[in-house]
Amino acid sequence: MPIVTQHNLDTIQSNRERKAKRSREIQAAIAEIGELPSVGDPELKEACRHDLFLFLTSYFPESTGLSPFSQDHKDFIKRLQASIEEGGRELDAVYRGFAKTTIGENTVLWVTLYGHAELVPVLGFDKAASENLLDSIKTELTTNELLARDFPEVCYPISKLEGKWQRARSQTYRGVLTEITWTVDEITFPVIDGFPSSGVRIVTKGFLKCPRGLKHKMPDGRNVRPRWVFIDDPQDDESARSPDQCAKRIDKLYKTILKLGGHTSQLSVFIAATCIEVGCFVSQLMDKEVHASFSSHRVPMVRKWSKAHETLWVEYGKIRANYDRADPRDRRRARAEALKFYQDNQKEMDAGCLVSWEQCYSRDEEAYEISAIQHAYNMWIDDGPDVFECECQNNPQRRGSDMAPLEPHAIAAKTSGYERYEPPPDATHLTAFIDIQGKALYYAVMAWTTDVRGYVMDYGTFPGQKTRRFSLRTMARTLAKEFPGADQSGAIFEGLQELVPKILDSEFLKSDGTTMKVSLLLIDANWGEETETVKNFCEQIRKLNVFPTHGRGIEAEGLPITHWQVKPGEYKGENWIVHRPEKRTTLSVSYDTNYFKTLVSQGLLARRETTCSLHLYKETPSHHRQIADHCCIEVPEIKIGRRRTITSWEVPKHLKHHDNHWWDCVVGCRVAASMLGISTEAKIRKKPPKARRKKVRQ
């Protein structure tokens, strides 16, 4: 057995230290990237510093430099550059295929490579879309030879990692860590002194997941905040149709994204998107009255249709669509014949037509296209005018009805000059409606003038909620919590016992000092098994101005209420009827929901203070946003029957879980106003009879 001496131990330790030192030297040699290559074309690099258009067309020959840009593209790029250099809030609604995303991605590289901004958030619709944006940027940084030639301070250190991104932690330049970050949602450029891109960061997030307080520490120790944000297509088809999702995006934009710059610097934002639906997030931002801080531009594919739009192009469409659907190969024949027809008549068919981008058409043989005008008409013919107006013209059409659309932002902004609880001086009656729900009671109180102007003076829920925005599904305060131990019927009954006197006993003060009380209160009795609960309540309180109601959506084939026979003791008016149910002492009201929803919709669309117009009490649009959302859930559709044509109102399937209870309340208040004689009809057919009081046994 060898004897261990101090000399042996020293030798072993010395060998270990020598090997460790050698290993560190090898690792340092591997980590050290050496000197940067020289810039290949310094003149072009410098020329592009303040010329985004030149940068896009010079450094990206396979994307933004591939086809000649149109004037609309040039204007789009000018607005992009101005938003970066001069600031501002810009929204450009452009058609699908405009290359807005590619232009935006390459613009982010221009901003960061030249150091025009030190922290650049890039926001897509969701996490996946945002990561795709960053992947495209990464591809350019790792494969674009022109960028590698002229921006070695960024591309060379990245290339030395050889795709092994874990090496970034130890990579050095002249012995100093480059501190590159290369993850799924962010890139930090190499820290190299003397270059404006040193330490610059790109961060990608989903639009609704953009964090508050986003900041980045630069190599010199400064904490920087974003000064420019690029947002690409922040909505999809489903969210564009949902008022609640649109409202969330508006809130996120104003409360989080536009506040990223802090108070010491101005933040500019550029949004590139497509207007998908009437009332969607993008279309709301384009309303210059409501969102005055945003500059918006709408870029259509076709600026002017051909003079032969209804002649030669109609014939062209017939030829293109005339093929055997059972034989896929016959489609090619039809398209070839349509192309031949276009070639023979191109001069006449192109006359008067003005398209945005002359290069926007397919060069594939199977497309059978030779011009952008033909391409636009092919889409218009194949996809239909509604799709074309939406996807290519940024001009979505209201579905199913020629009625102007109800838009939440417009309703929320349609306020009167009267405070909450204040009736206008010429108001003659007040009406109220309670919508029964299992968790809560929704209500609204409205004032009415003789020319059918309506003013929402108050609305809310019982129990009241502590937050302004909530949903029935997620509300914190419910009837069950308010009345512990009671079943659902009992909780609703007790809730009505508290809410109804509050509404009926309240005095509403006019500006002249006179007061008014609610003349008529209607309560929804259509809520499933709780119909009897509502009727029992109305019988018990024995109020002559409180009625249970049943809304009925009478379709085009149905007999309108105005044609219903009136039984003894009943009376009817403008598409409503008051009747006495069997075994009941209290009268009930039935009304045509389709008819009154159409009237309310027209009132909300009418100009302020005109006949039949409807208004909300004086407050900010954000305060009224939730009731406005409720009013926009249902969609009108024209239905034709043998007897008549009606506007039918339905909740789309994808919005079934959204709340529309205050919409029902406003509609109910309108029914009550009609019952009081405030109606588009000249008069009510018969005055309501006095209710007979039932003797109560002692």
Q: Can you give the pLDDT at residue 26?
A: 47
What does the alpha-carbon distance between residue 293 and residue 90 come to, in Å, rounded to a whole number? 9
What does the alpha-carbon distance between residue 470 and residue 609 come to, in Å, rounded to a whole number? 30
For the chain, the structural domain boundaries read 42-126+192-299, 303-391, 414-675
Count other Cβ atoms within 10 Å, centred on residue 114. 21
Q: Can you give the pLDDT at residue 1?
A: 53
Contact 432, 446 (CB under 8 A): yes
Give backbone dihedrals phi and psi of 522, rounded to 5 degrees, phi first: -110, 145
Give the position of tokens 């088809």.
237
What does the alpha-carbon distance between residue 610 and residue 602 come to, in Å, rounded to a whole number? 11
Contact 270, 231 (CB under 8 A): yes
Q: Can you give the pLDDT at residue 422?
A: 95
Q: Can you give the pLDDT at residue 279?
A: 77
In words, the CATH class of domain 42-126+192-299 is alpha beta
What does the alpha-carbon distance between residue 576 and residue 564 come to, in Å, rounded to a whole number? 10
CATH tag, 414-675: 3.30.420
CA dihedral for 66, 68, 74, 78, sign (positive or negative) = positive
- 461 membership: H or E segment, kind and range: strand 454-462
**327-343 per-position pLDDT tens digit:** 878 999 999 999 999 99
The single-letter DSSP state of residue 250 is H
For every residue of 622-690, which 3-state class applies, written as one string? CCCHHHHHHCCCCEEEEEECCCCEEEEEECCHHHCCCCCHHHHHHHHHHHHHHHCCCCCCCCCCCCCCC
Q: Which residues does the chain have with pLDDT short of 50?
A: 26, 29, 682-698
- Grouping H, G, I as helix, E, B as strand and the rest as coil, residue 119 is strand
For the entire predicted model, the pTM comes to 0.63
Q: Which two tokens stand for residue 174?
A: 């002249």
Contact 461, 443 (CB under 8 A): yes
The terminus-to-terminus CA distance of the chain in angstroms comes to 115
What does the alpha-carbon distance between residue 675 and residue 473 come to, in Å, rounded to a whole number? 33
**Of 126, 119, 113, 143, whose CA–CA distance to 49 is shortest?**
113
Q: Can you give the pLDDT at residue 693?
A: 44
Give backbone dihedrals phi and psi of 203, rounded to 5 degrees, phi first: -125, 130
